[in-house]
A and B are shown apart, each in its own frame.
Chain A
Amino acid sequence: MIDLLQSLIDGLGRGSIYALLALGIAVIFGVMHMVNFAHGELITVTAYIAFGVVVTTGWGWWAAAPLIFLGAVGTSVVIEFVAFRWVRGASDFTMLLTSFAVHFLVQAIFVMTMGASVRSFPRPEWADRIWSVGELNIQIVDVAVIGTTALTLAATVFLLQRTMFGISLRAAAEDFDAARLMGVKSNKVIRQAFILAGALAGIAAIFYLMRTGQARPTTGLSPLLKGILAAIIGGLGNMQGAVYGGLLLGVSEVLLRSWLPEDLVGITDGAVFALIALFFIFRPQGLLYVRSAERV
């Protein structure tokens, strides 16, 4: 029982990061109908920002965190402006290829400028601290990430439900042309979607980088894949589903890791993928299904 609770907390800590990334991927999928394989670059770019700030300036994490956040938002806007704006309205396949291109391009730029090797930076000293409640050992960083994610999600729900920005975004995700007929500007609503996705990724990046303390050209790949997977589990384009998908993915990873025999822990990711394949055999529409994600 205690073990299960422990896994649940660890899993939600991981899952929170996946959920924030998946939500951003769902938001972008909603308005552009594109799985954004460049979303992980927000983490790669901000990993080097973290490295720069923490190691070279020595300002520490209190300065790094807001810069990571702003870096993610800025990078998201720039990627939309220099890449996706030009292929909008092209086939879904063209857009997908464009997102791959951005992914590899950013990676190549970092290989050329920073080299392929890992750049490590110190993690905040409180990140590893453990808070013991009875038999539970809770990592402070898990508490921080779960709490921050809950606040972020609450703010996002408010934004989506209560503001004209949110209503426009949801309308555009349901029927882009109908939203334009109402006066929603395509450039604006898409830019806003990338700002929101960037902000969510920025918050995820802060905690992801606090945990890993590393920057390399492929840093964003693993969280990207988890984010996409979570978004797919949630029913692509379904924002609520993406959040549940992320949390579910995090918890299943931790549970699998604790159940698998010691020498099989290495196959956790493979096992997770296999479970997901199985899940889709029984529920091909994903966790929550929205018909409107399929634009007609």
Chain B
Amino acid sequence: MLEISGLTTRYGAISALRRVSLTVGANEVVGLIGPNGAGKTTLLNTVAGLLRPAEGEVRLEERAVTGDSPDRMLRAGLALVPERRRLFAQMTVVENLRIGGVTASAEERSERLDEVVELFPVLKEKWGTAAGYLSGGEAQQLAIARALMSSPRIVLMDEPSLGLAPVLVDFVFDLIGRLRAEGRTMLIVEQNATRLLEVADRAYVLRTGEIAVDGMASDLLQREDLFDTFVGSARDEDSKPSEPDTR
């Protein structure tokens, strides 16, 4: 489905990613973990077209899409739930969803609105509320729902549990589990390594811009050393310093 090979992305002179290769198969859930500043967001943003790679190739369903703009990537079937969600705070919930389906026809859009609401009933109650007034959990649901509005073939998620209270973290991972059960293809970045490895099929560990380890999620879960050396965070779930929820 998604093949990334030898991807290098630079911010000026600094290479935030160095020859990263990674694949995501159809119906597969792949995790990407690593300490702060490892380049996880850079990787997702490069694949989604927000950043232009200096070297390397991205293929989506056998098609070369390296360096394509975000709107072309979306039309090719790849949606990104960006870091910190980036909802349109002044727009209502339903407007956020409609913009998520901007590439679809009006009929498709309204059909998908119904589907998405079935998956996230809480959004229906907040239909006319500005996204900026949603709670953290609601906002994260909206961010995922908005990405699903384009009927993507693959969804990239950048730290979906960031800044959420523990009970909402559970909820988000439940949700990922449900999407997985639907057979969705996903590449998910999380600081919360244990939780991610529990829902992922395979995972990669990124460290200072390079893939350090990769393997089956169940195998990686057993690797105590990995959590000390590479991920940087202890295994307990609320180890990540909780960043204040800015929404």
Q: A residues touching B (Cβ–Cβ < 8 Å)? A: 164, 167-168, 170-171, 174-175, 177-186, 290, 292
- Knowing A184-B71, A185-B71, A186-B71, the reply to whether A179 touches B89 (Cβ < 8 A) is no
Given contacts A185-B69, A186-B69, 4 further A-B contacts (CB under 8 A): A175-B86, A182-B99, A183-B103, A292-B90
Query: Complex formed: what's the CA distance from A180 to B99 in Å?
Result: 10
Chain A residues, Cβ within 8 Å of B48 = 181
Chain B residues, Cβ within 8 Å of A183 = 70-71, 74-75, 102-103, 150
- Residue contact A178 to B71, C-beta cutoff 8 Å: no
Chain B residues, Cβ within 8 Å of A185 = 69, 71
Q: How far is the CB of A189 from chain B (nearest CB, A)?
A: 10
Query: Complex formed: what's the CA distance from A168 to B89 in Å?
Result: 14
Query: Complex formed: what's the CA distance from A164 to B102 in Å?
Result: 7
Q: Is B163 an interface residue (CB 8 A)?
A: no
Task: Out of B70, B89, B98, name the residue touching A164 (CB < 8 Å).
Answer: B98
- Residue contact A167 to B69, C-beta cutoff 8 Å: no
Q: How far is the CB of B246 from chain A (nearest CB, A)?
A: 11
Q: How far is the CB of B180 from chain A (nearest CB, A)?
A: 22
Q: Is B88 an interface residue (CB 8 A)?
A: yes
What are 29 pairs between A and B in contact, CB < 8 Å?
A: A164-B102, A167-B95, A167-B99, A168-B102, A171-B88, A171-B99, A174-B88, A174-B90, A174-B91, A177-B50, A177-B70, A180-B49, A180-B50, A180-B69, A180-B70, A181-B48, A181-B70, A181-B74, A181-B86, A182-B99, A182-B100, A183-B75, A183-B102, A183-B150, A184-B71, A184-B102, A185-B69, A290-B90, A292-B89
Q: How far is the CB of A52 from chain B (nearest CB, A)?
A: 40
Query: Complex formed: what's the CA distance from A13 to B200 in Å?
Result: 64
Task: Write the chain B residue with the least CB distance to A168.
Answer: B102
Interface centre among A164, A179, A183 (most CB of B within 10 A): A183
Task: Write the chain A residue with the least CB distance to B131.
Answer: A174
Chain A residues, Cβ within 8 Å of B71 = 180, 182-186
Bitwise, B73-104 to A at CB < 8 A (1) or not (0) is 01100011010001111110001001110110
Task: Out of B80, B89, B90, name the residue touching A181 (CB < 8 Å).
Answer: B80
Task: Out of A171, A174, A181, A290, name the residue touching B50 (CB < 8 Å).
Answer: A181
Chain A residues, Cβ within 8 Å of B146 = 182
Query: Complex formed: what's the CA distance from A290 to B91 in Å?
Result: 12
- Knowing A181-B80, A182-B99, A182-B102, the reply to whether A175 touches B150 (Cβ < 8 A) is no
Q: How far is the CB of B56 from chain A (nearest CB, A)?
A: 21
Q: How far is the CB of B147 from chain A (nearest CB, A)?
A: 8
Chain A residues, Cβ within 8 Å of B74 = 181-183
Task: Write the chain A residue with the least CB distance to B156.
Answer: A181
Task: Write the chain A residue with the least CB distance to B81.
Answer: A181
Task: Out of A167, A174, A175, A292, name the residue touching B102 (CB < 8 Å).
Answer: A167
Chain B residues, Cβ within 8 Å of A186 = 69, 71
Query: Complex formed: what's the CA distance from A180 to B91 in Å?
Result: 16
Interface centre among A167, A179, A186 (most CB of B within 10 A): A167
- Residue contact B91 to A167, C-beta cutoff 8 Å: yes
Chain B residues, Cβ within 8 Å of A292 = 89-90
Bitwise, B96-128 to A at CB < 8 A (1) or not (0) is 001110110000000000000000000000000
Query: Complex formed: what's the CA distance from A63 to B221 in Å?
Result: 76
Chain B residues, Cβ within 8 Å of A178 = 82, 86-88
Task: Write the chain B residue with the least CB distance to A177.
Answer: B50
Query: Complex formed: what's the CA distance from A290 to B150 in Å?
Result: 28
- Knowing A170-B90, A175-B88, the reply to whether A181 touches B102 (Cβ < 8 A) is no
